[in-house]
Amino acid sequence: MTNKQPIGFIDSGVGGLTVVKEAIKQLPNENIIYLGDTARCPYGPRPAKQVIEYTWEMTRFLLRKNIKMLVIACNTATAVALDEIKKQLVIPVVGVILPGTRAAVKSTKNLQIGVIGTAGTVKSGSYKQAIITKVPEAAVTSLACPKFVPIVESNQFQSSVAKKIVAETLLPLKNKKIDTLILGCTHYPLLRPIIQNVMGQNVKLIDSGAETIGEVSMLLDYFDIANTDTLSKADYSFYTTGSTVMFDGIAKEWLAALPVYSKHIELGGSQSCDTMVEKHITYDQ
């Protein structure tokens, strides 16, 4: 295994770029390949069985790209599919839930922890279970915030509408004495200033995605697979199942200076790793 192989990131859409941004910052030497299933986003409201199926399709696509590690950047996908994908792959597979949990358990002083996420993530109970497994005495309050992803995706995440909806939605958490709140969704870092304001400065917010890159870094060292070639510039490639123009627009803005030319691919059906067809609508880098 050569260390130059890329780290694969999968997500339901563009939200996983919040995790990639951390990866570029914390691991600037690593090559990255990202696949966002924008055509079928959001995963949050979908039944677990369907999310597992979609996550497998994305995984199979990236395995063909010879990745050395897989990061499931989507909380909803991690919640329902991580265990079975991890079991079947020989490369290390990292989800966003355990790293977020670890940081929360470390941060809490009163053992009152809050978790916010999509309907799918909260319904799975994965965060709650992961926290309780570590600290059985912890009290976990999970809250689905189905309105938050649409606020971000409609570009309203800095608006007064966002403030009102976030305040209303988080009301059930206000009377709990939580001192730590896990942002269990790729999109929530964009609402972080508003969430912090609503919850108060005494509540520590945990960004699951950012915590995940710490774990990726640790695993690269543990398996001795970090990219040791410090002379070449890191390579970033992006794939989307939806519009490349829209993907590139959001990714360029989010990842600042980075040029992004994503490629369109089709997922779905019973395609195997060997027969999956790539449609290059934009040009190859």
- The three-state DSSP-derived secondary structure of 41-56 is CCCCCCCHHHHHHHHH
Mind giving me the DSSP string for 112-131? Answer: EEEEEE-HHHHHHTHHHHHH
Q: Is 214 strand, coil or helix? A: helix
As measured in angstroms, the least distance from the Cβ of 232 to ligand I24 is 26
74 included as an active-site residue? yes
Binding of ligand I24 by 155 (CB under 6 A): yes
Binding of ligand I24 by 14 (CB under 6 A): yes
H-type alpha helices, 143-207: 148-153, 160-174, 192-199
Residue ranges in 115-154 that form contacts with ligand DGL under rule CB under 6 A: 117-118, 121, 149
Paired tokens of 205: 């917010």
185 included as an active-site residue? yes
Interface with ligand I24 (CB under 6 A), residue from 6, 8, 9, 13: 13
Using CB under 6 A as the binding criterion, the count of chain residues that bind ligand DGL stands at 18
As measured in angstroms, the least distance from the Cβ of 126 to ligand DGL is 11
Binding of ligand DGL by 75 (CB under 6 A): yes
As measured in angstroms, the least distance from the Cβ of 11 to ligand DGL is 5
Q: Quick one: what does residue 241 bind among ligand DGL, ligand I24, none, with the CB cut-off 5 to 8 Å set by partner type?
A: none
Bridge partners of 169, per DSSP, are: none
Q: Identify which range of 7-15, 26-34, 212-220, 277-285 contacts ligand DGL by CB under 6 A.
A: 7-15
Residue 278: DSSP 8-state? B
Interface with ligand DGL (CB under 6 A), residue from 9, 10, 12, 27: 12
C-alpha torsion sign, points 179, 183, 137, 141: positive
187 phi and psi, to 5 degrees?
-85, -20
CB within 8 Å of 247: residues ≥ 6 apart: 14, 36, 38, 238, 240, 260, 262
- Tell me which residues touch ligand I24 (CB under 6 A): 13-15, 17-18, 38, 152-153, 155, 187, 190, 242-243, 246-247, 250, 253-254
Q: Cite the active site residues.
A: 74, 185
Residues that bind ligand DGL (CB under 6 A): 11-13, 15, 41-44, 74-76, 117-118, 121, 149, 185-187
